[in-house]
Amino acid sequence: MKNKDNNKKSFASYLPRFVSYYKPYKGLLAADMFFAMVIGATGLAFPWIMRTLINEVFVLSDKGRIVEILIPAGIFMLALYVIEGLATKFVTSWGHILGARIERDMRQDLFTHMEKLSFSFFDDTSTGQMVSRIITDLQDITELAHHGPENLLISLIKIIGAFVILMNTHVGLTMVLLIFTVLMGLFTFFYRKKMFRSFMDNRVKIANVNAIVNDSLSGIRTVQSYSQEEVELEKFHAGNQQFYQSKKNMYTVMGTYHSTNGFLQGLLYVVTIVAGGFYVVRGSIKPGDLYLFVLYINMFLQPVRTLIQFNEQLQQGMTGFFRMCQVLDTAPEIQDLPGAIDAGLLRGNIKFEDVTFKYKDADESVLTDFSLDINAKHTVALVGPSGVGKSTICSLIPRFYDVDGGAITIDGLDIRQMTLRSLRDNIAMVQQDVYLFNSSVRDNIAYGQYDATDEQIIAAAKQANIHDFIMTLSKGYDTMVGERGVRFSGGEKQRISIARAFLRNPPILILDEATSALDNISERAVQESLDRLSRDRTTIVIAHRLSTVRNADEILVLSDTGITERGTHEGLMAQGGEYAGYYQVQFDGLSEKESA
């Protein structure tokens, strides 16, 4: 029952939605349809002219009269071919352009919506699968958007026109034709669901292959450093084999579909010729009319074949469109509430009030009735073992996720009452895993602040202790960083990220393990930049290296039960509790390494 509902929805609900993409191009669509009608009409004329010549002209005894009629008839047919050729040129070129425009608009809508989706969506969906939806799934839509309307119109004109002419030629033979046409139509109608399922399965399998490729190539350094090429090859082979089996099943379904329709068409020709021969013998149809009938059967079946091919194209195109709409119909879990206000420039007083939060599909809550006050322009460090909610706290402040209970306020206002844009404009994040875009150093520093001047960008770089390094590069600030910043070290990428935060100049700063992956020399350089960046801002620091949080205004020690200790570095060391134990372990280990 579920599959039936899905199919009904895909064709009943999604077709009008698909058609809506033609609205901006109504003029071009109308022109395309007009020339499609011209193609259909000219195609109908040729057999009728041939029938007239055979039955009424070639039988004349006056050869001069035949020539008189034949020359203008030839000129007329030539003119029809010219008109048909020009119409075909327009439909072929501008029709495809129409399809490309619609594909562009669909891809734009899909990417725009993806950018709005919440973190929870991407937690459950791989990048490769999303790339497959935005690239592969939409490829067939161009052909469907182009050929769909014109094929339907041309086929409709030819089928109706040929049927009327055939009825006027011989009713009995036309009824035979009608019976076979109904059989092909019924077969197509009932077989389309099987085709849709096979195409959908194929889309899912190629999306899985794309996900495997994206995952493996993105982590190629890890793959090669751990000598796991064979493992990745096995994963790819398994996914690729599943795709092959899906493709094989799809072609089997298509083969059955086309061969059955082809057999019915061939059987129609046999029955028509045999029955027509009997009618000629009985004198109820002229040989010229039988010839005309056979020509018009071909003209009748040509659009029928086109519609049979179109049904396959429709299933492929609508499968891609259906998968696209699955994403478009996924509402962002995090979005502006009705009446949300522009927060303006915040001071940065952050308060967690009895906050409870659980990740989707997780068994237990990460935070339960968690409360915390952070004063504006203070630096608070979060310390504790992995899994106690440190990163979760930092993800809740910019509303990457919404709390399940309680509230988070900034300057006394619930963050859910602020627009997402205004809330996040007040926050900058520097994370352990820095993401640099495959663009210039300048563009990466100015990310989110594209109106920044060169002077402002350079000033931010100087504050982040990265300007001197940038000036040693071959093209300075115009140097391309490579995919994910592959050409730079961890410390260099981190300082570019810090320069980005300096340029943003927010009142709230979140530092999530910003130095944990760096060596001691790089850490010192980055830490100097971070200390400078944290001044006069509300700063939340997550750090496993406790040397980086000694100067925090307050240090919170977290466990599964919540906050177990809080205070300054000196106060917590004097207590001799968990923090002192963590600190002692780290620095005793460091002393042993240095003495060794």
In-domain check, residue 449: no
In-domain check, residue 355: yes
Does 265 lie in the same domain as 151?
yes
Residue-wise pLDDT tens digits, 532-554: 788 889 999 887 778 778 888 99
* pLDDT attached to residue 159: 81
Does 98 lie in the same domain as 206?
yes
Report strand pairing: 367-374 vs 379-383: unpaired
Does 217 lie in the same domain as 116?
yes
In-domain check, residue 12: no
Phi, psi of 409 (to 5 degrees): -120, 150
What pTM was computed for the model? 0.72
CATH code of the domain containing 564: 3.40.50.300
In-domain check, residue 435: no
Q: How many domains does the chain have?
A: 2
Residue-wise pLDDT tens digits, 356-399: 999 887 888 899 999 999 999 999 999 988 888 888 999 999 99
End residue of a domain, out of 304, 328, 352:
328
- Beta-bridged to residue 418, according to DSSP, are 341
Does 225 lie in the same domain as 143?
yes
363-367, 460-464, 510-514: least confident range: 510-514
**DSSP labels for 71-89?**
HHHHHHHHHHHHHHHHHHH
Does 225 lie in the same domain as 95?
yes
Range of the structural domain that residue 390 is part of = 343-425+539-596
In-domain check, residue 245: yes
End residue of a domain, out of 328, 362, 384:
328
Does 167 lie in the same domain as 135?
yes
Phi-psi region of 16 (alpha: psi -120 to 50; beta: other; left: phi over 0): alpha
Does 350 lie in the same domain as 295?
no
Mean per-residue pLDDT of the chain: 82
In-domain check, residue 390: yes
| CA–CA separation, 157 and 192 (whole Å) | 24
CATH code of the domain containing 252: 1.20.1560.10
In-domain check, residue 353: yes
Of the pLDDT bands very low, low, confident and very high (cuts 50, 70, 90), residue 514 is: low
Identify which has the larger pLDDT, 464 or 2.
Answer: 464
Identify which has the larger pLDDT, 160 or 392.
Answer: 392
CA angle 346–352–353, rounded 5-degree value: 125
At residue 38, does pLDDT exceed 60? Answer: yes
Cβ atoms of 340 and 390 closer than 8 Å: no
* pLDDT attached to residue 1: 39
Measured from the Cβ of residue 290, the count of other Cβ atoms closer than 10 Å reads: 20
In-domain check, residue 448: no
Does 191 lie in the same domain as 305?
yes
Q: In what order do the strands lie in the sheet with 413-414?
A: 367-374, 350-357, 405-410, 413-414
End residue of a domain, out of 328, 351, 378:
328
Tokens at residue 324, please?
Answer: 């696209």
100-114, 314-328, 446-460: least confident range: 314-328
Does 366 lie in the same domain as 316?
no
Does 307 lie in the same domain as 364?
no
* pLDDT attached to residue 219: 61
Does 172 lie in the same domain as 26?
yes
Does 349 lie in the same domain as 317?
no
